[in-house]
Structure 1
């Protein structure tokens, strides 16, 4: 095999991509990403040694989380960039070690794992080493599975931490766990039980970092408000923004004001329309298109330039590649790139804006509106109405159908599930999984929409916050006694973090689909089933009946009259 990658849901045959990635990542890039992650683990190991002696390096902390973010599925496809980052990692490691030895004392190579000492400059040496250090270098299948699960959970944590960091919010304990968790994957003395403990701890940190990101978003842009988002078009040149980064969107909106250019969102950026801070921009006009995997057709039809701010990039067709811009950790060979901020100044989107002025308005692909903005604050403002409706039997319960969308035809399951749920069941969602059903006319219950969209996958904290607040308001000791069932779709590593976050709060009985992760060994699956009753999705009919039974078994749901 020329590569080995099993970190996303669409991996070949639900085993691994071994020639080229379904995502479009070639073997060269995949192997360099393996080497980069291995290097980051070594850097984390050294950083942990330094931290034990009171040395915390800010540049190392940020480099590790940004580096991990760059290796998430559909983020960065540029092998030359990864070579540069690997070499920068060597330099950061040398500086940290020099500081440690000056302040504490010498440290021998023999006391460090190879990932913390190995380095080379020539590209050929990098590629040779990259072929040796992928996930298969851990021979024991169960240990490998747990190391991967921990690593992928940490990748999600790193992505959320990076988003919060950009907005000025950070917590050292999160960065510290990222380093400690990564370092543990290099420690051959760690038992299976110890690795399981770290996996569960990563879920707890996942909750913490999502709360930090939620605070960063709401303190900067206000709490999302229920909003009907236009999905039609206007007759002006425009820019399409995809991904998740609200800071990039904010700076672009500021720089396009008065320029005769409209701005639309795509994919996971849809929830931006619900933030009060963006209401002032008259040229912020609506959402265009659907989930990330449909971008070939939608970017083609949009006509104007597209800005990819985070993950979700599909390798572009030649017909629109010259108007697809990347920024942050997102890169693809040959695509124009908007460089990072320097000295606190905003990013410079002038090239993108001038490009937009030369293009035709977007082609209309649909009309109407979609509801958005039902994050925890908006939902909990109506908590009394929700509780009364549950107690009156008007709301039978909730089904959390958050997570990711993807290309597999099996994902039509989520559309059919949404259609099949009875009129007294509400769907809670966040992430691009919503595109499977958010444009269906499912109605409302006493003015409460049957699809409550909390936002991006980055906003999944809202789903947990709503459950925890209802648990407290209803006086329920066990979160599993709430009339809430979980039927979650996953695709990439942030979704792994969300899953682990739910498990850390004691949530049981989660359905996960459309397949269980390929990187889980049979033994690890057995542990998850035994401890948390995790299960793969079944048919819509079978799961619907089981979900309704779960909802009706809640002690809070009134027993229907005989």
Structure 2
């Protein structure tokens, strides 16, 4: 199939793997998220709030990591700690993780120090390129050094550049899942080896034509399936398999801490440290599915969920009368009316905020006790979560019987990232209009468009099943594979349609995983990625039948007939 890719390009000539040949320079250029300015790229300041110097230094982090990867490959380094470090550093450049230039300066110095250490131990050296890069001593100096290393300079050929960007963004998503898994003790050297391979590509002296670059994309997708498997093993092995759980959306009288992001271990450590202190713990955003894990549910002060998706935090957080802790990605610029209540941990960073190291959340707890908390009980709706693969497959016989009897006509996976850009109400309307004999699986923060909708059940099985976080995409894949096995067919032959929303790089790598699995007919929105060139899009349409969303009515009619 990969050879078909070449036919989309004039002349089909091989493209060699060189450093950037584009001479166009930008003070800032970033197009890695769905909300990028004008649908092409942010050139003055990021729509996410990222400042130009942060964007430039993040480019330099990636360039420095290319040098570390080259060093690891040349010396044959198989140290898992080094691999995890590289994944963490790449994760810091993912959208809405870290906005602090001083932290990035530290990261770059650490990357180069580790590179030089392993080169010295291995008796190896490089005279030029990223493995010989020496960082400047100041942030301004680093910004100057970053010139020419951004994605706009990846290649002069639009299509080669597009595929290289897909690879880098995919690896950022892969790095995130890899870090989440490693934090819980789940690692595989093969994942780190691929990160080195992907980062080194373009600087390793290997000539690659377009076909070879596409091969790396699909390899990234395959490796990410392994990373998500590791993460699933870490989450379920540590905290148990999620069980269907009713989660309050109201508030309980008392002091309060709100936890956002994705990290289960951070939440667990906070729950332990707040036992007996009269503080109720609430989840925000992608932390909602944490309520389904048995080892987290054991804490009586783990109460409910507050707010919706990440992009609404500046509207919702001023009313939260407690401390707020950000784990992993999803942070926005904290507004002045609540910034004193916001804390970060792990890889998250925002200039001026208190950062909690080594799971020491005493500063968060102190602030929560200073703030008023909720002064009275406020009843509200409840929502269900906890429909991971074990929960769904435990009733697989009922699902299969329902399909055979005609009670269940079709399955929809409606999930992915949410965002502020217009057009995302499509997903709300789509779910509301799904026929009563269909089931909707959902995951990630895209569900906040419809997570509290009451759309009924089929024979006692809820029609809306929350599989979990974007981190739980492995569960969704395993559910699909199990159903295909039960019906003795391929996933593409199931009465299953994927209707996905995307925002950041985790969504990019999940898409690569779906493509690597050969899954077709994916509907993607609300807009297509700015970094996918027309020819690359043609390839995806021709080989995988990827299509943009249109309207709920038109898409439902096309799917169901």
1:131 offset after TM fit, Å? 2.0
1:335 aligns with 2:353: yes
Of stretches 18-27 and 42-51 in structure 1, the one that deviates more from structure 2 is 42-51
In structure 2, the partner of 1:152 is 169
Q: What does residue range 546-557 of structure 1 map to in structure 2 within 5 Å?
A: 546-549=558-561
1:491 aligns with 2:503: yes
Distance (whole Å) between structure 1 residues aligned to residue 328 and residue 213 of structure 2: 30
In structure 2, the partner of 1:62 is 84
Q: Give the counterpart of 1:428 among 421, 441, 455.
A: 441
Q: Give the counterpart of 1:217 among 235, 238, 242.
A: 235
1:189 offset after TM fit, Å? 1.8
Q: Give the counterpart of 1:359 among 358, 371, 382.
A: 371
What is the root-mean-square deviation of aligned Cα atoms in Å? 1.3
Gaps (5+ residues) in structure 2?
Answer: 1-25
What SS class does the counterpart of residue 460 from structure 1 fall into?
A: helix
1:472 aligns with 2:490: no
Assess if the C-alpha contact under 8 Å between 1:57 and 1:96 holds in 2: no
Distance (whole Å) between structure 2 residues aligned to residue 356 and residue 293 of structure 1: 23
1:409 offset after TM fit, Å? 2.1
1:129 aligns with 2:145: yes
CA displacement 1:457-485 (0-9 Å, x = unmatched): 00011111000011111111x21000000
Assess if the C-alpha contact under 8 Å between 2:249 and 2:383 holds in 1: yes
1:365 offset after TM fit, Å? 8.2
Please, what TM-score do these two structures have when normalized by structure 1? 0.93
1:50 offset after TM fit, Å? 1.9
Q: What does residue range 26-425 of structure 1 map to in structure 2 within 5 Å?
A: 26-51=51-76, 55-101=77-123, 106-109=124-127, 114-123=129-138, 124-138=140-154, 139-187=156-204, 189-339=207-357, 341=358, 347-362=359-374, 367-425=380-438
In structure 2, the partner of 1:457 is 470
Q: Give the counterpart of 1:540 among 540, 543, 552.
A: 552
Distance (whole Å) between structure 2 residues aligned to residue 437 and residue 49 of structure 1: 50
Assess if the C-alpha contact under 8 Å between 1:416 and 1:540 holds in 2: yes
What SS class does the counterpart of residue 19 from structure 1 fall into?
A: coil
What SS class does the counterpart of residue 416 from structure 2 fall into?
A: coil
Gaps (5+ residues) in structure 1?
Answer: 342-346, 550-562
Of stretches 177-186 and 308-317 in structure 1, the one that deviates more from structure 2 is 177-186
In structure 2, the partner of 1:20 is 45
Please, what TM-score do these two structures have when normalized by structure 2? 0.93
- C-alpha change, 1:503 and 1:22, in structure 2 (3 Å) is same
Distance (whole Å) between structure 1 residues aligned to residue 219 and residue 346 of structure 2: 29
Distance (whole Å) between structure 2 residues aligned to residue 371 and residue 237 of structure 1: 24
What SS class does the counterpart of residue 313 from structure 1 fall into?
A: coil
In structure 2, the partner of 1:556 is none
Distance (whole Å) between structure 1 residues aligned to residue 295 and residue 538 of structure 2: 47
1:13 offset after TM fit, Å? 1.4
1:107 offset after TM fit, Å? 4.0
Distance (whole Å) between structure 1 residues aligned to residue 46 and residue 553 of structure 2: 33
1:120 offset after TM fit, Å? 2.9
1:362 offset after TM fit, Å? 3.8
1:59 offset after TM fit, Å? 3.9
In structure 2, the partner of 1:519 is 531
Distance (whole Å) between structure 2 residues aligned to residue 66 and residue 279 of structure 1: 28
1:60 offset after TM fit, Å? 2.7
Assess if the C-alpha contact under 8 Å between 1:50 and 1:56 holds in 2: no
What SS class does the counterpart of residue 500 from structure 2 fall into?
A: strand
Aligned length: 532
CA displacement 1:258-296 (0-9 Å, x = unmatched): 001110000000000000111221110001111111111
1:108 offset after TM fit, Å? 4.5
